[in-house]
Structure 1
């Protein structure tokens, strides 16, 4: 699962939409394209209605009358939330503000997983926001892990075009029978098409939604060169703007009652109509 095994990935035939470019502190200012705001199409929910504590309860603080939460990492523990429901397809979003300062080795993850129910053939769809050292190169990593298989791909990393510690930004996952799309502030940054080549390893089992912060010293910042420095702890990530719109699995674990066909037809990204921008994807 993403919290402890971030190197498990799946990719295959990909259509990558290049919306994230590298921006240095003295580099050009990037203005993202105007796109339809998918987050405006769904109702936002409170944290206490949507999540239970996953781990590190003493480092989870629900604020704003249940509408937001602070998750912290210190030397004793990280922390995380898990959705009360499991979903089979849907749109999932959280507005997150990352911890500021020297955050090397710190990982803030927003992801879907069913590793608790399928330990040997689980699915997972990850957004991982990686801490940094003194440079202002904020990295977002996306992972897909399907049906217990990692044989067909790897993670993809991108530079963000803004400082994610200054304000809240929306991080979203659209998952249906047609494709998986990762979005940042409603801008699609990666798409994985469900086709015959990956039909047996395409995520298809119900998953829970997680938000976590944890120590990724071994790999997160420049391949583990810069581990977490707990002199700067606690590291606090804040979240709000929760959206979970999908087919909810009922208590008996039977097929969800909502219309999967309507979710499968959801394609508000309209990839082919987006303008072409320079892709800057990190390799390795």
Structure 2
């Protein structure tokens, strides 16, 4: 009878778009089913999509360059940067994080143009922050536009899975409509383009970066737990890289839109990338209710006057 009840419950959960599984290790319900945007685009190998950013000896291509291990040890962190610059698009990486004691370690998948605009740069950040013993990794999302680095727009989330056991997808959409951060295709945050945010909305072509580095000064509880190198090396693995959108050619001083190798989907102006579906919105509501534990828009101790986009919400 109990088995029959379990099967009936699983069937009802599927009907309502919710997986019956429970995630390992943290007690959160599994994420709702959503459209798998990561299935719509082709993967880039690292030698065709990226070049060394820093820490060359700590970069190890694997699986014929389709994946790469990035290492942080006492001598250096490491990072890769995309060969092209992009103006809007869909960007994604499958990431397997270091296990064990990782306080102070920062793994980042992000976009920036600080190399071209050092005093007026844009940035879109997915940062995964290491943990002290028995604590989970933290997902931090952030955005800067037009040099607005004095006001971080951080939101922090717990994950509903163990990110060290296998690869999980971390992605974002950036176009003239919105910026959306996704984990395993579930939206966790949406920044809508509107008048309140327009002056600090990323507006210039950016490169894509994948890095691991020492964030001892701030990453774990405000720097309370720095990196302990007796647990080094810390190894993160990146793969299934997807970068599809408008590429920027500085020689032509313009942009050109490229299409995915296995898809005609348009992440710049396509309808399904301009607005979240009802299914995606339900997924985001689930993530924000169950997993978000910090938002700058609710930090009255940090801001005497909240940024204008917070009021617009």
Give unmatched runs, 5+ long, in structure 2. Answer: 1-22, 260-265, 300-313
Please tell me whether the aligned partners of residues 178 and 265 of structure 1 are also in contact (alpha carbons under 8 angstroms). Answer: no
Q: Sort the Cα spacing of 1:133 and 1:193 in 2 relative to 1 into closer, same or farther, 3 A.
A: same
1:74-108 CA distance string (max 9 Å, x none): 00000000000000000001101001111000000
Tell me: CA distance 1:174–1:229, structure 2 relative to 1, closer, same or farther (3 Å). same
Whether 1:69 and 2:68 are equivalent positions in the alignment is: yes
2: distance between equivalents of 1:194 and 1:113? 18
Matched residue count = 261
TM norm structure 1: 0.86
Larger proportion of helix: 2
Change (3 A) 1:259 1:78: closer
Query: Secondary structure of 1:144's match?
Result: strand
Distance in 1 between the 2:30 and 2:24 partners? Answer: 14
Residues 75 and 266 (structure 1), Cα distance of their counterparts in 2 relative to 1, 3 Å cut:
farther
Name segments (4+ residues, structure 1) moved above 6 Å: 259-262
Shift of 1:30: 1.8
Distance 2:41 2:271 in 1: 12
C-alpha distance in 2, partners of 1:144/1:251? 24
2:244–2:267 contact (8 Å) kept in structure 1: no
2:84 alignment counterpart = 85
**1:95-142 Cα shifts (integer Å, max 9, x gaps):** 010011110000000000000000001000000000011123221000
Distance 1:129 1:204 in 2: 24
**1:281 maps to 2:292:** yes
User: Do the aligned partners of residues 259 and 46 (structure 1) sit closer, same or farther apart at CA in structure 2, a change above 3 Å counting?
Assistant: closer
Change (3 A) 1:126 1:48: same
Number of the residue aligned with 1:10: none
Gaps of 5+ in 1: 1-22
Aligned-partner Cα distance in 2 for 1:213–1:226: 17
Q: Is the contact made by 1:51 and 1:83 (CA closer than 8 Å) also made in structure 2?
A: yes
1:253/1:189 Cα in 2 relative to 1: closer, same or farther (>3 Å)? farther
Distance 1:55 1:138, change over 3 A: same
How far the C-alpha of 1:262 sits from its partner, in A, is 6.4
Paired with 1:45 and 1:259, the residues of 2 have a C-alpha distance of 14
Could you say which residue in structure 1 is the equivalent of 2:270? 265
CA deviation after TM superposition for structure 1 residue 259, in Å:
7.9
| 1:42 aligned partner | 41
Give the 3-state SS of the residue equivalent to 1:107 in structure 2: strand
Within the alignment, does 1:135 sit opposite 2:134 as a pair?
Answer: yes
Name the counterpart of 2:146. Answer: 147
Answer whether contact 1:24 1:136 (CA < 8 A) is retained: no
